[in-house]
Structures are given as C-alpha cells and as structure tokens.
Amino acid sequence: MNQSADNVMAKIYNEKEGFEAVPSYIEDTGEVNWLVADAMRIEVPVPVIAESVMQLFASRDTTRIADKAIAMMRNGFGGYPFGPDEGIQYERKFGKIENAESDILYRKNQIKILQLSIFNNEVSSRSFVNPLEES
C-alpha cells in the first residue's frame, strides 16, 4: 500500500493534534552512519548522503516546523519513534557486527602508529651507530 507524503503527514498531524506535540528528534538505526564511515574508509565520496546524516543530527531538538515535518515522515514511512529510544540507540552502537571488530582493529592500528612514531623520533633524535662497523 503506497502512501503519499502529504497523507502520512496529515495522519500524524491529526493524531498529534498539530505540530506542538511533534518532537523534531527522531531516531535512526545507524545504517547510514555506517555507510558514510565505510565510504570514508575506502575513500569513496558520498557527499549528499553524508550531508543528510549531518542534517538529521542538526534537526534534533529544534522547534522548526520543517524539522518536525521530516520527523513525521520518518515516523510514518519508516516507523522510527519520536524522541530518544534506548533500544535503537543500543542497536545503532552495537548492531553492526563489524563495529566491535572495527573498534579493536582501529585501536591496534593506533598503537602501531604510535609505536612507529616513537621509533622514528628515537632514531632521528640520536645518531645511529652501526654495531658492525669498527669505531
């Protein structure tokens, strides 16, 4: 059953008895955040998608009717709840199987970078003496 955006908004507007009861904060499950992070990791530009994520974050906790209208459509079409939802927040943080593994790999990589940086600083800060050469 296809619904038009105006029908969805009218239905929610009537249910909420206007815009006053509609919060602009709407949850997201994080799939788009993951897509943007993965695109950045493999160096694929996705500027429109990245900007849409930023606008979603910016629209939260505002009183603008436009932001409330977007929240109404996300609720009506995607079933996203109005306001913060602990279950979805947990899913966003831990739902992607790769998240825990990526975090471990990221931390290991940061340690390697730090170790290499320390090694390079030590080598460049002292004169290197080849132990095989006679003094």
User: What are the sequence ranges of the domains in the chain?
Assistant: 5-95, 97-126
Distance, in Å, from the CA atom of 39 to the CA atom of 21, rounded to the nearest integer, reads 37
Q: What is the mean pLDDT of residues 96-115?
A: 72
Amino acid type, 46:
V
Would the pLDDT of 124 be above 60? Answer: no
Q: Residue 126: pLDDT above 70? A: no
Of the pLDDT bands very low, low, confident and very high (cuts 50, 70, 90), residue 130 is low
Contact residues for 73 (Cβ-Cβ < 8 A; gap 6+):
5, 8, 9
CA nearest 27: which of 69, 63, 74, 65? 74
Q: Is 26 helix (H, G, I), strand (E, B) or coil?
A: strand
